[in-house]
Amino acid sequence: MDPGKASMTAMGTALMRATHTRLDRPPLLDDPWGDRLIPSEQREAMLESGGREALDVALRAHPSYGTVILRARYAEDALADAAARGVRQYVIVGAGMDSFALRRPAFARKLEIFEVDHPATQEFKTGRLAECDIPLPSGLHLVAADLSETPLDAALAGSAFREDRPAFFSWLGVTPYLTRAANLATLAAIASCGLAGSELVFSFVEQALLDADTDDERIQEARAQVAAVGEPWITGFDPGQLAHDLRAQGLELLDVLGPAQLEARYCAGRSDALAASPGSHVAHARVLG
C-alpha cells in the first residue's frame, strides 16, 4: 500500500457492500454508503470502461464479494449481542470506508465508536464526508494511526477509549496484508487494552493457500487483483493452530467459521450465488482475564 494514498481495497469493499444492498435479495446488510463515499474518479479507476452497471457486475463477480458481505454480517451480529449485554465501546481496527457510525442501527445508539486507520485513508474519508456536507456523527472518535509503527493500544491511549470498560473490536479484511509479526502484535495489543471479557471478531485467509500454488481459480484471481493495486496478500493463519496463536497473545478462541459454516448460517435458501471465497475465515475471540 502507498502510505500517501487511501486504500483501494477499502474503497472496493465499501462499493461491494453498497452493491449488495441495492441488488441482492434479501440483503444481509443495509449499507448504501459506499456509493456516496467513493467518488467517480476512484470508481472509474476500478473499471476501464462502462458505467455503474458494469462496475456492479464486476464487483459481484469478484471472488471476495461474498466474503466481504458475510464477514460484515457476522461481525455486526456478534456486536449486537455484545451491545445487548451492555458493551458500549466499539473499536473498528482498519476501519477504511466503514459506514457503521453513519448508519448506526438501533442496537448501536449508545455505542462510542472508535475508527482506527492509516492517516491517509482516514483523511480521504473525512474529506469525502465534508464534500458531501455530511457532519461527523456524534459518538464517533477518529484515531489516525499507522499500526505498523504505532501499536493499537498506544493509539487508543491517546483517545477517549476507556480501558476500564469492556469493548468490542472488529478487524475485517486486514490481516492478509500485514506480516505475521504485525498481526500477532495487534492481537496482543487488543488483549492489552481490552478489559477481560472484551470481544474481537476478525477475518483471515488460510495460510496453506498462500504457501502453495493453488489450482483454485478464485483464489488466484483474488490474489492477483489485490496485488495489482499494490496491496498483496502476504499472511494467513492456520485454523487448526488458531486457538494456540490467540492464547499466546492473551485471547481465547470462541468460534471460527470457514466458508461452509458462513454459507450455512447466512446463505441457506438464497437463490443468488452469494458465497464465501475458498480459504476465507472469520474468528470470534475473547480477552482473557
Q: How many residues comprise the chain?
A: 289
- Which residues fall within 8 angstroms of residue 92, CB to CB, at 6 or more apart? 98, 100, 113, 114, 115, 116, 169, 170
- The full set of domain ranges for the chain reads 8-287
Strands 168-171 and 140-144: unpaired
pLDDT tens digits, 214-239: 666 666 666 666 555 566 778 999 99
pLDDT tens digits, 175-201: 998 999 999 999 999 999 999 999 999
In angstroms, the CA 152 to CA 64 distance is: 26
pLDDT score of 263 more than 80:
yes
pLDDT tens digits, 111-167: 999 999 999 999 999 999 999 999 999 999 999 999 888 999 999 999 999 999 999
Look-up of cell digits 492517516: 119
**At CA 155, angle to CA 165 and CA 168, rounded to 5?**
35
Please report the pLDDT score of residue 234 as a whole number.
86
- Which residues fall within 8 angstroms of residue 146, CB to CB, at 6 or more apart? 3, 118, 119
Nearest to 26 by CA among 263, 276, 272: 272
Nearest to 124 by CA among 231, 8, 1: 8
- Which residues fall within 8 angstroms of residue 267, CB to CB, at 6 or more apart? 66, 70, 274, 275
Q: Is 89 helix (H, G, I), strand (E, B) or coil?
A: strand
With cut-offs at 50, 70 and 90, classify the pLDDT of residue 51. confident
In angstroms, the CA 195 to CA 166 distance is: 5
In angstroms, the CA 52 to CA 18 distance is: 12
Higher pLDDT: 268 or 41? It is 268
Share of the chain above pLDDT 90, in %: 77
Kind plus residue range of the DSSP H or E element containing 171: strand 168-171
Q: Which fold has domain 8-287?
A: Rossmann fold (3.40.50)
**Which whole number is the average pLDDT over 79-89?**
98
